[in-house]
Amino acid sequence: KQEVTQIPAALSVPEGENLVLNCSFTDSAIYNLQWFRQDPGKGLTSLLLIQSSQREQTSGRLNASLDKSSGRSTLYIAASQPGDSATYLCAVKNDGSYQLTFGKGTKLSVIP
């Protein structure tokens, strides 16, 4: 059964710092990996989707990488801002499945 882990559970950084969020998964037979952002009391917003054949995806200040063979993905946030404060979740879709398996998220606080 696929398991997705995100460490640390919480992270606090000063504004302007570059930071990396980590995601690991136990079964490398994935179809894709998706990163989401969740603001308190709200739904999830899709940030980036990386297909299994891809190494990375970029959107603005965000860059997500995927190393399928080692079961790891990272989300790099450049020049962090207070508005980046949120919980970031990763989720993987296994081959042949409609379902996503979610990690429990990393709660990011960017201090002005």
Partner 1 sequence: DVKVTQSSRYLVKRTGEKVFLECVQDMDHENMFWYRQDPGLGLRLIYFSYDVKMKEKGDIPEGYSVSREKKERFSLILESASTNQTSMYLCASSRTGLNSPLHFGNGTRLTVT
Single out the residue of 85, 100, 108 nearest to residue 34, CA to CA.
100
Q: Report the nearest approach of partner 1 to the CB of residue 77 (Å).
A: 19
Using CB under 8 A as the binding criterion, the count of chain residues that bind partner 1 stands at: 22
According to DSSP, residue 83 is labeled G
Q: Per-residue contact track with partner 1, 43 to 82, x per CB under 8 A?
A: xxxx--x-x-------------------------------
Q: Report the nearest approach of partner 1 to the CB of residue 28 (Å).
A: 16
Cβ proximity to partner 1: between 77 and 100 the closer is: 100
Strands of 1-112, DSSP E: 4-5, 10-14, 19-25, 30-38, 44-51, 56-59, 62-67, 72-77, 86-94, 100-102, 106-111
Cβ–Cβ contacts within 10 Å for residue 90, how many? 30
Residues that bind partner 1 in the complex, under the rule CB under 8 A: 31-32, 34, 36, 41-46, 49, 51, 89, 91, 93, 98-100, 102-105
